[in-house]
Structure 1
Amino acid sequence: MKKYINKLLLLGGLLFMGASCESGAELTTLASVNFPSQITVSSNTLVLNEDTAEDQILLVSWPSVSFPIEASVTYALQFDVVADTTGSTAWQKAKRVEVGTDVLSKTLIGRDLNKIATDLGLQIDKEGKLVVRVEAAMDHKIYSKSVTINITPYEKSVVFGEIYMPGSYQGEWNVETAAALTAIQKGVYQGYMTVPAGAGLEFKLNNERNWAQFYGAGSANGDIKNGSTKDFLLPGAGSYQIKANLNTSKWTATPYSWGIVGDATAGSWDNSTPMNYDHQTKTWKITVNLVPGNVKFRLNNSWTINYGPKNTTDGLVYLDDQGSHYVGEGGTYEITLQINDVDPASSGYPATAVYTVTKK
């Protein structure tokens, strides 16, 4: 009986090992996976400047990588300086650019590439070298051979100035109290606007708080034409981020709204209650009925950008903080948010913002 049991155990062990080996054959970590050919770049020498900050400057392309199992492959780029690509800490300081699933190229604009170069320590107005490689990932990551790029970064100039937006949203067109769009780059202006329900949608753009020089619509609503008597038209009631580019003579209005969220609000934690933008005080505001509970702030009805306070006394909210403002008594409240989000696309969102919650 003992010999019989031992034989069964031995047979079971062999069957287990066989099954393990068979399943292990499907693991890509046990197989050699490589890029079938070198990656390519559209140019190996780049001189960057502010005039081409929004232009497509560099195209990186690569061949498809085949892993032993049928599944999607996720790609990313890594940029680094030559000195940081060898040794035990190789590529640990690299700047990573997400690309996506089964995508075989990535285009970078001048502004983004300039930020990568300066963040990695390349000197302004002096040619330096960056290396770029492609990461391919499934259940493990592999990397292409790197390509060297000679790149001359520039120093982003500090821009000042505003243009103004008189229009029907004011009730009366008044350039002296019109919303201001702040310069974020040379010739590029950005600001925020709430159009009340039932208000007119027409507006102009003025260089000063007078009518000495103004811009209206060109052949299309999105075209900016100097001295045109044709009004621009906003999309409709709601809040927008307005951008006017006098270099390209184009403007856009993108839906953009800060709101309150939490179990003290009508939408609880699922739906934000939108706030309105007061362009004269540059403050987001709302007067609303609340029940006892918590309140915090988020952008565009999404948790991607959100702010919460660490307490209810210092009047500050913090980016991506888990805290919330507790409302102990139900009733009508005025809530305000002041945030310096003039240029989040290139500068990011600020670490803190100022808020108030006041019972009426």
Structure 2
Amino acid sequence: MKNTFKLLFTAILISGLWSCEDEQELIFSNPPASFEIVTPLDGSVFLEPDRAGDIALTVTWNDADFGDAIIANYDVEISLPNAEFASPIVAGNTTNNFVTWTVEELNGAATLAGVEPFTDTPQDISIRVKAYLGTNQSEIVYSNVITVGVTTYTTETPLLYVVGNFLAAGGYGNDWTPSSAVPLASSGFGETDFEGYVFFNAASFEYKFLPTNVSFDGDYGDDGNFSGTLVQEGEVNCTGTGAGYYRVQADTDLLTYLITPTAWGIVGAATPGGWDNSTALTYNSTSKKWEGTVVMTAGGYKFRANNAWTVNLGGSTDSLTYNGPDLILDASGTYLVKLDLSNPRAYSYELIAQ
């Protein structure tokens, strides 16, 4: 019993000494009242995709002084001014007193914060720095807020959507439902010349153009004269008559639109009609492709609409372009031809030997 007591007393004594030693090494923080962003104080940054790796912006700040030998963590936060950091984007984390963003990094952060791409003038973003201690983010202190203007871009091809009362077989089309609107694509980043193909499966139909397939916010309709002029957030729907497969073009900068009915065929030395007469294909509303079985001979060929050369496609199997070079068939035979125009500006086809 005496030995047991001695061992227990020794353990308590050692533990107490160890605790005293720990207390002597503790450092108590003293949260700073505030700290300031030093640079930049204002300005604008123009972000361009061909300069993605260049330095876009550096933000520096005074150290948040929590006490001697205490290293603070910093999160650099970005928000739209009217959002007031309700759900900020954390665009940098560091223990230094600065952060540097490349064009690509700042573009990504500003886009996530809600800045619209390809605007003519810079849009403001708010930037602040959050200082804290440890992984549990204790003793949080914020810097002042600065405002910087940015123009952003997207590397995705811009889309415009067609919505209306044109219920179509195969689920292609909708009854004024944005989520199932038919996409049109522009010719490139930042361009506003949209085009694509829509199957209007109604004798008379109405439609509008949407910037997104989420809601009607910012929709485009006719100006009321029905002569191909668009107006944004107007009351008048665009209209058309005659069910069919239409090439749809719209420019949201010029505020113009045009729909052209099309019936597609294959034409050329490799086809029964030669270069003078198209061999007609039939639209399949389920596959969303123009199809037909054609006896073909080796030689050149293209696809064209309405048995005329105004609208024609050539190029390669997975990249058809308007007025593109002739396609070449090497082996004669009977082929199932499938022309796919359902992906705007990414038109393709198949020739399947029978």
What is the TM-score normalised by the length of structure 1?
0.40
* Structure (1 or 2) with the larger CA radius of gyration: 2
